[in-house]
């Protein structure tokens, strides 16, 4: 006979149970670091044993020393600040536009028939195709870069909001109509809670695309930013600098995604989903 972990947690004394919960809280992010750290250590050992010279793919120690050099010189903070500012502004503009138009298209059928075909056609345009147009319209300064990032964020947020509204159970809406809820009350009490899970996913996808689009944006005449650092490393033949910029992108991107996850977690506590904390092993 076996006893499941949740039963053991409930039967344990409060102090031991709190210690167990803290251990589980720390073990999950540590488990997520296992794969990248194992790969990094494996490559470090592989280069140290002489199986590769590490010239084109430098070992992690070389990449780490490059990051430290950039930090000591002050370049790292300058490049990170510029990229964060662009992604933050572009993300904000894209989220606002995507939320408004997605809500309009999802709630009103006529608006959906008018707007959605055009939005879907624009969504198929590659990100780099917008670059010459934005340079022509907005110049090579910050406005064009922020606009390009906003375009990348807009489409997943728009689709998430519209799809979330369209997927709301019709029976729930009928209950609201039975209770004679007004339009704003229907949105606040029925549609908004039902749409929130897909909206959070859309925000996270949009943020990921924002980090991808910022690289294309920083190719538009930028003199600072992590995308510029990538291009500079390629032009000067510095693979360690390229990998350092990629690692910093990964760390900051994961951190900002975690911020969205933490900020929206209180809004989704009502869910009893398969992947939630109640059902997670």
Over residues 91-113, the pLDDT tens digits come to: 999 999 999 999 899 888 888 99
Residue 14 lies in a domain: no
Tokens of 206: 């949009």
* Structural domains counted in the chain: 1
Whole domain around residue 158: which residue ranges? 83-266
Three-state helix/strand/coil letters over 185-228: HHHHHHHHHHHHHHHHHHHHHHHHHHHHHHHHHCCCCCCCCHHH
Residue 36 lies in a domain: no
pTM of the model: 0.80
Q: Which residues of the chain have pLDDT under 50?
A: 1-5, 7-9, 278-281
Q: What is the pLDDT of residue 279?
A: 42
What average pLDDT does the structure give for the chain? 82
Is 228:205 a contact under the CB 8 Å cutoff? no
**Rounded to whole angstroms, how far apart are CA atoms 38 and 30?**
12
Say which CATH number the domain at 107 has: 1.10.3720.10
Residue 260 lies in a domain: yes
Q: What is the pLDDT of residue 266?
A: 80
Q: Angle at CA 145, nearest 5°, toward 198 and 260?
A: 30
Residue 50 lies in a domain: no
Cα of 3 vs its chain's centroid, Å: 38
Residue 109 lies in a domain: yes
**Rounded to whole angstroms, how far apart are CA atoms 70 and 244?**
9
Residue 156 lies in a domain: yes
Residue 255 lies in a domain: yes
Residue 95 lies in a domain: yes
């Amino acid at each position: 006979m076996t006893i499941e972990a949740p039963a053991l947690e409930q039967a344990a004394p409060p102090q031991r149970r709190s210690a167990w919960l803290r251990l589980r809280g720390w073990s999950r992010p540590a488990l997520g670091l296992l794969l990248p750290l194992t790969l990094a250590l494996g490559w470090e050992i592989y280069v140290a044993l002489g199986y590769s010279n590490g010239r084109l793919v430098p070992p992690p120690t070389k990449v780490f020393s490059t990051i430290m050099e950039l930090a000591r010189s002050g370049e790292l903070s300058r490049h990170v600040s510029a990229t964060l500012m662009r992604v933050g502004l572009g993300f904000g503009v894209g989220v606002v536009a995507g939320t408004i138009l997605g809500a309009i298209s999802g709630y009103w059928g006529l608006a959906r028939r008018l707007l959605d075909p055009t939005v879907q056609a624009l969504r198929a345009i590659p990100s780099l195709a917008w670059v010459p147009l934005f340079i022509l319209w907005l110049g090579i300064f910050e406005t064009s870069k922020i606009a390009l990032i906003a375009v990348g964020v807009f489409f997943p947020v728009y689709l998430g909001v519209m799809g979330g509204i369209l997927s709301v159970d019709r029976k729930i809406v009928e209950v609201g109509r039975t209770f004679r809820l007004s339009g704003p009350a229907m949105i606040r009490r029925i549609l908004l809670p039902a749409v929130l899970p897909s909206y959070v996913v859309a925000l996270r996808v949009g943020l990921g695309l924002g980090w991808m689009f910022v690289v294309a944006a920083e190719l538009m005449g930028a003199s600072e930013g992590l995308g510029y650092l990538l291009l500079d490393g390629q032009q000067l033949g510095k693979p360690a600098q390229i990998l350092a910029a990629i690692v910093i992108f990964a760390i900051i991107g994961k951190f900002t995604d975690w911020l969205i996850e933490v900020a929206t977690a209180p809004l989704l506590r009502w869910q009893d989903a398969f992947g939630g904390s109640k059902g997670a092993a």
